[in-house]
Copies of this chain bind each other. A is one copy, B any other.
Amino acid sequence: MDVRPDSRIGRNAMLLALLGNEKLEPVFIKDLRLQGYIYCQGKTGSMETQKVVAAIETAARQNQVIEKDLYRETHALYHAIMEALHGVTRGQVLLGTVLRTVGLSFAVIRGKPYSSEEEGEWVAVALYGTIGAPVKGSEHEAIGLGINHI
């Protein structure tokens, strides 16, 4: 399967979260960087929504995907994370409060998805993993994607 990254920043982010480095060809990662994207990946699991948010924010800052001293970048990332969590939680952005937990792989990508240079940089947050009762096996998959201008 010849899957290459392209201008679709959300698709790139979701492929990273869904397939991980093990399944994606090295050429995918190489092409991603060649096209000017910067990104990070990670895993997080918790019954506390704020820990999921914090794990993604920390990874994005430590990997210089967003500039940690600029609030406008934190603001852009925060809303992208919240939008991705809507896809995972599907109604109420609540985990332990409603007795459920998540185990998620995430990818945060930053780049220029539009052909016009003036459209500037955007950020995409992709989440893939499981959601369910705090009992092993009592869970199904969940996915979320959030995109924002940065």
Contact = CB atoms under 8 A, between A and B. Distances in A.
A72 to B, nearest CB: 4
A76 B147 CA distance: 12
A103 interface: no
Interface of A: 1-3, 8-11, 14-15, 18-19, 23-25, 28, 48-50, 53-54, 57, 70-72, 74-76, 78-79, 82-83, 85-94, 96-100, 113-114, 116, 118-120, 122, 124, 126, 128, 132-133, 137-149
A23 to B, nearest CB: 6
22 contacts: A2-B23, A11-B18, A18-B18, A49-B99, A50-B98, A71-B119, A74-B133, A75-B132, A75-B140, A76-B149, A78-B133, A82-B90, A83-B90, A86-B86, A92-B92, A92-B93, A93-B97, A94-B97, A141-B145, A141-B147, A142-B145, A143-B144
Contacts of A74: 133, 138
A23 B5 CA distance: 12
Contacts of A28: 1
Nearest to A147: B140
A144 B87 contact: yes
Nearest to A27: B1
Contacts of A1: 1-3, 19, 23-25, 28
Contacts of A144: 87, 143
Nearest to A149: B72
